[in-house]
Amino acid sequence: MIIDEPKKPADRARTTTTRRPNWCLPGAMISILVLWNSALAAQPGSSDVFRDVLDVRVINLEVVVTDRAGDRVTGLKSSDFELTVDGRVVPIEYFTEVRSGRAVIANRETDSDPLAVPSLSPGDEVGTSVLVFIDDLFSTTVERNHVLESLQDQLPNLGPNDRMAIVAFGGRELDMLTSWSQSQRELRRALLIAGGRPTYGTQRETMERINDANQAVGIDELFRFGDADTFSELNIGEKQAVQRLSHDLRGVSLAVTSTLRSFARPPGRRVMLLVSGGWPYDPIRHILNREAKSVAAQGTVSGQEIYAPILGAANRLGYSLYTIDAPGMQADSEVAKAAFADQGTEGRAQRLDRESNNETTLTYLAGETGGMAFLNRDRDFALEDVMEDTRSYYWLGITPQWKGDDQDHDVRVRVLPAGLKSRSRRGYSDLSRQSEVTMMVESSLLFGNPPGSEPLSVNVGRYESAGGGRILLPIEVVVPMDMMTFLPHAEGFVAATELRIAVLDENGNRNETPVIPLDIVLDEMPEPGARRTYSTSVKLRKKRHDVLVALYDNATGGIYSTRIEVAP
C-alpha cells in the first residue's frame, strides 16, 4: 500500500496504515494510492442505526440448569448462582427465569437484588428467534436436503411468539431466503428454495479422495524431506490443499459472522441453527488424515482462530449456537457400515477421523455459546429439540467495564445447590471500535452495505493494465465535509475519519482490509455542501470483483459506504 500525503498545511490529511492479522489469500491482492483533492457537493447525514448495532452494553447469559437425571430445574433465585469473569466473582445485575416460555420474575427483597431483564414483566411470553444458516459450500445435496426436509417437518414446533429467518451461503455471497417470519407457509417455501440450490461438497470430496490416493501410493513422499513420522513441513500439494481448506473455512466463518451481525437484535431468546456440511477444526489433520509429530504450514490457522469471529459475534449479540451435522455419518449404523465396506481398515479409520474432526468444531461452537450440537441421528430432531431447550432457562445479565481492547474474556456460571449442573455461554469479546467497523465492512461484501450506513459518492475511472494479469483501477471517493464531525484543535478544526476498502473476487477470495486513519485538518469549519475527494488507485487481478468503499466518522460512529462491481 502506498500513501502520498498532501503538502498544503491547511488542506492536509495525516494518514497512517494500521496492520491487522493477515487474512489475505492467494488470488486476492490490493494496493492503494491515496491523494487529496477538494471540490463541492452535498451528501446525506449519518445514521444512529449503525451505532446501535455495535453498542451492546449488557451481556445476557441464558443458563439451562438440570439435575442428575438431566431434568430441568425451576424455581431457583439469583443467589443460587455464582458468576465469574476471568476467574473473578462479579455481581449479577439482571435476573429473570423463563419457564415454559413465560417470564417468572422473583420479588426483589433488597436494593442489591438483581433487576429483571429489561422489557420483561411477570407473565410476559418470551419467544425464540431462530436464525438458520445453511452451508452449501461444504454440504452435498443429499445430506443437506435430508436436514432441510426434517426442518420442514418440525416447523409446527414453532410457537405463536417464535420467528425464523433463513440464510444460505454457497461460498461467495449470502442469500437471504426469508427475513424474520412467523408464517410456516413462508418458511416452508424458503426451505424448499434452499433445497434447490447448488452444493459444492461433492467437488471437495473428490479432491480429498485424490489426495488420499496420492498418500496411499506414496506420491506425496516424493516431495517431502525428513522421516515420514516426524516431518515438520508439508509438501507442495499438501500446503495448497490446507491453504485452500483454511481459506474456505475462513469464508464460512465470515459468512456466519455477517449473518449474526445483520440480524443483530431480534426480540426474545436468540438462537442460530447452523447447518454444516463438515467444518474441520484442524485443517492440517483433515488433509493429512494421519498423525504427525510436528507439522508446519505457512498461512494455516487453527480452529480457534478460524471460528473466533463467530464466537465473538454470537456472544456479543446474545446468540446461542445450535449446530447440525448435515453428513450425519452415524458410524454405528448399518448405513455407515455399508458405506465403509469397500474402503478397507485404513480407509474406514480415515473417514471416522475426519468425522471426528468435523464434530469437534460443532461441539466447540455449541459449547462456547450455551447451545447444543446435533450429531449423527440427532440431526433429524434438531428444531424440535431447540424449541424445547429454549422454553425454560434463567436469564442472567451483567454490564462489563468495556475497554475496547480486542480482548477475550472467560465467563463461567456455577449453580450453587449440590447435584445441579448448568449450561451457558463461556465468554465474550471486548472488541475495539476499529475492529467492529472493519468486521462490519468485510461482512458487507457478502450481505450488502453495512446496516444503517449512508450512501457514499464514489467515481470509478477507466482501469489500466498493471502487468502480470493485474489491473490498476482509479477510484475517487467524495467526502461530504459538512457531514463529518469537526472538533476544535490547536491547528484549527479536526475530523478523525477512517477509510476502508474491502475486496471480494469472483472465487470468493478477499483482501486484507486496509484501515487508513485520515485526520482532516481545516483552518475553519466547512461551509454547507462542501466536499473533498480522495483519488484512490486499487490494484486487482484481472477478474470480476466486488469492491466496498467505506468512510467512518470516529466521533459519531456514522458510516458512509458504497459497493462497486468491477468486471474487466
* Residue 401 clears pLDDT 50, i.e. is over it: yes
pLDDT-derived band at 443 (thresholds 50, 70, 90) equals confident
For residue 215, what pLDDT band results from cuts at 50, 70 and 90? low
Residue 208: φ, ψ to 5°: -65, -40
Tell me the pLDDT tens digit for each residue of 506-532: 777 777 788 888 788 888 898 888 888
Whether residue 11 is predicted with pLDDT greater than 50 in this model: the reply is no
**pLDDT reading at 387 higher than 90:** yes
| Between residues 206 and 333, the one the model is more confident about | 206
What's the rounded mean pLDDT across residues 38-44?
31
Tell me: pLDDT of 50 over 50: no
Regarding predicted confidence, which is higher, 178 or 204? Answer: 178
pLDDT at position 2 over 50? no
Query: Residue 549 and residue 568: Cα distance in Å, rounded?
Result: 19
Q: 403 falls in which pLDDT band (50, 70, 90)?
A: confident
Over 90: is that where the pLDDT of 244 sits? no
For the chain, count helices (H), then strands (E). 11, 28
Q: Which one has a higher pLDDT value, 217 or 472?
A: 472
pLDDT above 60 for 444: yes
Q: What phi and psi, each to the nearest 5 degrees, are found at residue 274?
A: -95, 115
Report the pLDDT averaged over residues 225-251.
72
pLDDT of residue 75: 93
- Model pLDDT, residue 266: 85
d(CA 523, CA 491) in angstroms, rounded, equals 7
- Which residues, at least 6 apart from 467, have a Cβ–Cβ distance to it below 8 Å? none
Is residue 505 pLDDT above 90, yes or no?
no
Of 6-10, 27-31, 55-59, 488-492, the range with the highest mean pLDDT is 488-492
Alpha helices in 263-330 (DSSP H): 283-288, 303-317
pLDDT, the chain, mean = 79
Closest CA to 483 of 433, 535, 518, 528: 528
Confidence of residue 560 (pLDDT cuts 50, 70, 90): confident
Residues 525 and 485: their CA atoms lie apart, in Å, by 10
Residues 430/403, Cβ–Cβ less than 8 Å:
yes
Contact assessment for residue 472 and residue 537, using Cβ atoms and an 8 Å cutoff: yes
Residues listed for the chain = 568
pLDDT at 98 over 80: yes
Question: How do the domains of the chain map onto residue ranges?
Answer: 2-47+453-566, 58-125+392-430, 128-387
What is the four-CA torsion angle of 364, 370, 373, 379, rounded to 10 degrees?
Answer: -160
151 membership: H or E segment, kind and range: helix 141-154
% of the chain residues with pLDDT over 90: 35
The better pLDDT of the pair 299, 64 is held by: 64
Q: What is the mean pLDDT of residues 424-435?
A: 84
| Partners of 269 in beta bridges | 128
Residue 211 has pLDDT above 90, yes or no: no
Domains 2-47+453-566 and 128-387 are alike in CATH topology: no
The tens digit of pLDDT for each residue in 527-536 reads: 888 888 888 8
| pLDDT tens for each residue of 457-501 | 999 888 888 888 888 989 888 888 888 899 998 878 998 888 888
More confident residue, 221 or 152: 152
> What are 369's strand-pairing partners?
425
Q: Can you tell me the distance from the alpha carbon of 221 to that of 228, in angstroms, rounded to the nearest whole number?
A: 8
What's the pTM? 0.74
Helices (H), 289-428: 303-317, 334-340, 344-368, 382-389
Query: 287: pLDDT confidence band, cut at 50, 70 and 90?
Result: confident
> Which residues, at least 6 apart from 190, have a Cβ–Cβ distance to it below 8 Å?
166, 177, 178, 181
523 burial class (0-12, 13-18, 19+ CB within 10 angstroms)? exposed
Lowest mean pLDDT among 100-104, 444-448, 471-475, 512-516: 444-448
Q: In the structure, what pLDDT confidence band is assigned to residue 546 with cuts at 50, 70 and 90?
A: confident
Q: Which three cell numbers stand for residue 521?
A: 485538518
Q: What is the fold, at CATH topology level, of the domain defined by 2-47+453-566?
A: Immunoglobulin-like (2.60.40)
- The pLDDT of residue 405: 86
Q: Is the pLDDT higher at 394 or at 407?
A: 394
Q: Say which residue the cell 463461556 belongs to.
A: 426
What's domain 128-387's superfamily in CATH? Answer: von Willebrand factor, type A domain (3.40.50.410)
pLDDT given for residue 332 in this prediction: 42
- The CA distance from 352 to 42, in Å, is 61
Residue 353 burial class via C-beta count within 10 angstroms: exposed 0-12, middle 13-18, buried 19 and up: middle
